[in-house]
């Protein structure tokens, strides 16, 4: 399988550290956003749904909608925590040259890419019926995102295998050949 030599202009190791750090920052911001939205929804959900009419049907709909939104926001919080933990493990694994700590990051990102491809395919199929231009823009943008994350995943995987093999690709053992008194070459 193809293995990238570097991540953009960084070595694999530095690229993995930068990528892991960006993922931790994104996870923390995602968690903060989910908490903020949770507080916003809790205060305003019933008012938004039930402000126009006061019928019992709308109140039940508002309760069901708030349950769905709460579930989504709690799922977003949980995924942010998982992303932060997996990225932190990868950063620690890269710093300590331990390939085992990079595994959860690889698995989590592979699952995210598969889910993103599935979601993108579903939305593109839906948009192809409604608006062809919007479908092309959506497919182009999300195709680029999927390509970028796949490239990042392959780079982390390449460094994972580099650590698993035991020696980085830029590691060269220095030897010096010199003659001894009896004419035999020796290595220092």
What b/e sequence results for 162-180 when a residue is b if at least 16 CB atoms lie within 10 Å of its CB, and e otherwise?
Answer: bbeeeeeeeeeeeeeeeee
Share of the chain above pLDDT 70, in %: 77
Residue 76: inside a domain, yes or no? yes
Q: Kindly give the residue spans of alpha helices, DSSP state H, lying in 8-131.
A: 12-50, 56-95, 103-130
The verdict on pTM exceeding 0.85 is no
Q: Is 12 exposed, middle or buried (0-12, 13-18, 19+ CB in 10 A)?
A: buried
pLDDT at 175: 56
Q: Is 121's pLDDT higher than 60?
A: yes
In angstroms, rounded to a whole number, what is the distance separating the alpha carbons of residues 26 and 45? 26
Q: What is the mean pLDDT of residues 116-123?
A: 92
Note down the domain range covering 14. 6-168
What are the residues whose beta carbons fall under 8 Å from the beta carbon of 103, sequence distance 6 or more? Answer: 160
What are the residues whose beta carbons fall under 8 Å from the beta carbon of 10, sequence distance 6 or more? Answer: 18
What DSSP designation does 170 have?
A: T
Residue 47: inside a domain, yes or no? yes
Residue 154: inside a domain, yes or no? yes
Q: Are 146 and 116 in contact (CB under 8 A)?
A: yes
* Number of domains the chain is built from: 1
Beta bridge partners of 177: 187
CB atoms within 10 A of CB 48: 12
Residue 73: inside a domain, yes or no? yes
Beta bridge partners of 6: 11
Residue 51: inside a domain, yes or no? yes
How do residues 48-91 score in pLDDT, each as one tens digit?
Answer: 655 555 555 566 766 777 778 888 889 999 999 999 999 999 99
Q: Is 188's pLDDT higher than 60?
A: no
Residue 173: inside a domain, yes or no? no
CB atoms within 10 A of CB 19: 24
How do residues 173-182 score in pLDDT, each as one tens digit?
Answer: 545 555 666 6
Task: Please name the residue that has the structure tokens 């992303």.
Answer: 83
Residue 182: inside a domain, yes or no? no
Residue 175: inside a domain, yes or no? no
């Amino acid at each position: 399988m193809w293995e990238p030599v570097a991540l953009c202009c960084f070595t694999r190791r530095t690229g993995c550290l930068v990528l892991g750090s960006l993922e931790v920052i994104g996870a923390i911001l995602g968690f903060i956003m989910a908490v903020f939205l949770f507080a916003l929804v809790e205060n305003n959900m019933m008012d938004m749904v039930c402000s126009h009419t006061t019928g019992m049907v709308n109140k039940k709909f508002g309760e069901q909608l708030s349950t769905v939104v709460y579930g989504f926001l709690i799922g977003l919080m949980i995924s942010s925590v998982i992303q932060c933990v997996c990225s932190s493990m990868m950063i620690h694994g890269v710093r300590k040259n331990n390939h085992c700590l990079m595994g959860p990051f690889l698995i989590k990102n592979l699952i995210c890419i598969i889910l993103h491809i599935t979601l993108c395919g579903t939305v593109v199929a839906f948009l192809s019926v409604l608006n062809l231009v919007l479908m092309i823009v959506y497919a182009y943008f999300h195709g680029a995102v999927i390509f970028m994350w796949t490239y990042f995943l392959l780079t982390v995987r390449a460094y994972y295998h580099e650590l698993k093999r035991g020696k980085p690709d830029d590691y060269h053992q220095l030897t010096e050949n010199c003659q001894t008194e009896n004419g035999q070459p020796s290595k220092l």
